[in-house]
């Protein structure tokens, strides 16, 4: 696998990946207000602001995983379920 910087062509697919993962892992335990705030457009907006520090595994537009960095450290990590 090759890790590469995120490309503008990844944005929609990355937002979907993050949104789906959040729904699967957090929506059932999160307060109602947070569930309402975590929309697909909200994840897209957050990613759009962080693309310079986002790295992807997978082809442009079809990522299988991504992570962000802050101050040189790995932060958010998201991947599709394997299998």
Domain span at residue 29 reads 3-79
Tens of pLDDT along 11-60? Answer: 999 999 999 999 999 999 999 999 999 999 999 999 999 999 999 999 98
Neighbouring CB atoms inside 10 A of 11's CB total 16
How many domains, the chain?
Answer: 1
Judging by beta carbons within 10 Å of its beta carbon (0-12, 13-18, 19+), is residue 63 exposed, middle or buried?
buried
pLDDT of residue 83 exceeding 90: no
Taking a C-beta distance cutoff of 8 angstroms, is the pair 9, 56 a contact? no
- CATH number of the domain to which 59 belongs: 3.40.630.30
pTM equals 0.88
Rounded distance, CA 13 to CA 30, Å? 24
Q: What is the pLDDT of residue 77?
A: 84
């Amino acid at each position: 696998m090759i890790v590469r910087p995120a490309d503008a062509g990844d944005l929609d697919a990355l937002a979907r990946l993050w949104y789906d993962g959040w729904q699967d892992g957090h929506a059932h335990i999160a307060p109602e207000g947070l569930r309402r705030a975590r929309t697909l457009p909200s994840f897209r907006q957050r990613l759009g602001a962080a693309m310079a520090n986002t790295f992807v595994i997978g082809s442009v537009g079809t990522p299988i995983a991504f992570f962000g960095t802050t101050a040189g450290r790995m932060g958010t990590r998201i991947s599709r379920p394997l299998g």
